[in-house]
Amino acid sequence: MVNTPPGSVHTGNTPPASVHNEESESENEFETKISKLDFGNPLYLHASDITNTPLISLKSKGTENYNVWSCAMLLALETKNKKGFIDGTCVRPLDNEVLALQWDRCNAVVLSWILNCVTEELFLGQIFSKNATVVWNELKETYDKVDGVVTFNLHNKINSLCQNGSPLSEYYHKLNSLWKQFDALIKLRTCVCHAAKDFQEHNQLIKLM
């Protein structure tokens, strides 16, 4: 039962003015602390950081294009200063409730960016996940594999690519892009011995052929 001072009227359904004031002060405190975050803080959210717009135009199809997709996503997340939400370096604060709530918002935004850039099949497999790091690691563990079929198809594209009357610059760009995808897929270690130059020249000869 709420004790109402003499001369004042208080109904059971309306909270006292002090409650409104406390809620208002709490909201103002939250807004004040969040407004102090600068661009260099991963918890900072810009007005353009909306979830209904895909972060990149490429959609992950699984093993077929995971390496290209992940490189594009990492670059885009780096520009947004949100890479820490997928590599685990930006952890949820335990000693600050305001920043913890802001971390939840940022995590939801990053998770939405990831889910907006995958096919429907992959989307349905991750829609119930709540943590961006977990989703990223599961996609990596599942699809970051050197599949023989994918490697063969990519190499076949390289061998069968023809200029077909297109400008030389356009033809070279397509061929070079395919080779970069192939190199990223194979992930050969960099040679540091005296044979490094010979290996590089041989690799360039293979590409030339």
> 80-93 pLDDT, tens per residue?
999 999 999 999 99
Least confident among 52-66, 117-131, 149-163: 149-163
How far is residue 35's CA from residue 45's CA, in Å, rounded to a whole number? 10
Confidence band (pLDDT; 50, 70, 90) for 76? very high
Distances (CA, A) of 184 to 19, 55, 172: 59, 22, 18
Tell me the average pLDDT of the chain: 80
User: 45: which DSSP letter?
Assistant: -
Report field, pTM of the whole predicted structure over 0.85: no
Structure tokens at 39: 């661009």
User: 118: which DSSP letter?
Assistant: B
Residue 73: count of CB within 10 angstroms of its CB = 22
Q: Is the pLDDT of residue 1 over 50?
A: no
pLDDT value for 77: 95
Q: Is the pLDDT of residue 26 over 80?
A: no
Confidence band (pLDDT; 50, 70, 90) for 18? low
127 vs 28 pLDDT, higher one: 127
Confidence band (pLDDT; 50, 70, 90) for 19? very low
